[in-house]
Structure 1
Amino acid sequence: MYEEVIKRFGAIYEDPIVEIKNLKQESYVQQYQEAFESLLNRVELNEAYAVSLFIGGLKKEVSMPIRMFKLTTLSDVYAMAKMQEATNVVLKPRYNSPLLTTLKFTPNSVNKPVIAPIKPNTMNGNNQVMARNGGNRPFKLTQKELEEKRAKNQCFCCDQRFFPGYKCSGQLHSLEVVSESYDELGMEGDNETFEDCFEEVITADSDPQISLNALSGLNSFQTMRVKGMFGRHTLHILVDCGSTYNFLDLKTTKSLDCKFESTTPLQVFVANGKNMMSCYQCKNF
């Protein structure tokens, strides 16, 4: 009867050597250490071999750093493994997040910098200005009428004097400049729409351009990020050779308590095909 009980509940079918060799860390080092010591007490191994078995069963992120120390005692290996595990917990958020936000690389992007496309001046002698008011039918101005209104500083859609921030009585919210060359080809030109900003578009002699890198704050091989001082404030300045004008964020201007004034709205072309409006200027900055 005694022999039958031993056969039924004994450990004659277990091989602790095989178990300790196949033992792997699945959770924390402390739990792995307890399971390893439980099997180690049932076998006779020299300490050097036991150290190798313990390190071999650790997770790769724990075992690889401590191998370089060439530890010879189990107590040192236990302590070093727990320290490495704690270090990995602290550094894990850094490994999971990118260090720098960069543009997605494509093979053809090396020789193609992101620069604003150069568009022709929309106020030349062969252009017409067309205004739309909701669902009303568009009306057109001849070049002569356009020049007369510009000389008198009048709104293109009425006879009132134009000034920055002026609201047309017809509640106009957009102006579109269409080239005659597009009409001859039966094509629509690029329509530039600016809502709740101004009704008359005044273009400069050369259309201002701003690089998409400068707008988004990303670095490229044509940009250089430097630090500057304005009084006691530190500013991050992005020098971009793809931009033709200098631009300052309006929120930054207010936080620095800079003096800025309203000016003739300036249309700025951005490299992504869109455009922005600059309605203020900051002198002597």
Structure 2
Amino acid sequence: MIPIPEEQKVPLASVYMQAKAELWFQGHLEKSGMPSWSELTIIILRRFEDLDYERVVYEFNMLRQETTVHEYLIRFEELESHMLIFNKNLDETFFMMKFISGLKEEIKGYVATMNPTTLDQTIVLARRQENIVNALLRKINQQQKNNQSKAPFKPQNKSLPYKTSFKPSFKPRDEASQPRRFLTEAEVRARKEKNLCYKCDEPYSPGHRCRIRQVHMMLSEEEAKAYEELKIR
């Protein structure tokens, strides 16, 4: 590309102006004279794109990533070009720091810790972190879907294999309602010699059960005498 001298840029650009643009430029020459190239670019943008310095600066400072890094970058580069029209002294470091500050929190921290030195490096790091975050979110969403698809555990109500109507026929009686019988030592010895049950008058053998159950109490000789005296009274 052949470089064009600065003083020839405006006359050369005016050659390509047609219709309303040509009439507008002729009117501007009569009012203000021949502008410089930088002045012409600002004048044209203000006239045909409604470009205002204060509005551009405000939008540039308020720019934040709301969707993807790609969409954020498109708007950033558009405002970057407008900022350079008004101030050519803005360097790459200024735009790099502004680009980082407008990124989402989950991307901004990673990019800042990597200490990029150019805007291109910053853009690459931002896209890389965005891919990592998106992959992690997809994994979390898939795990949540898998957990929701699993039926909750419900313990089965296992009934008894059979029901029994068995009721014990033996009903223990109150000890106070059972008849009591007192045995003296002599009666105990006599029953032992005859191999009789201490509780009933039937012969005793292993496994013996009394047909009529009674409560017996063994008395010593002194207790037996006292018991006999009470019976006499």
By percentage of residues, which structure has more strand?
Answer: 1
- Give TM-score scaled by structure 2 length: 0.38
TM-score of the aligned structures, taking structure 1 as reference length: 0.32
Query: When you count helix as a share of all residues, which structure comes out higher?
Result: 2
The answer to which structure, 1 or 2, has the higher relative contact order (CA under 8 A, 6+ apart) is 1
Between structure 1 and structure 2, the one with the greater Rg is 2
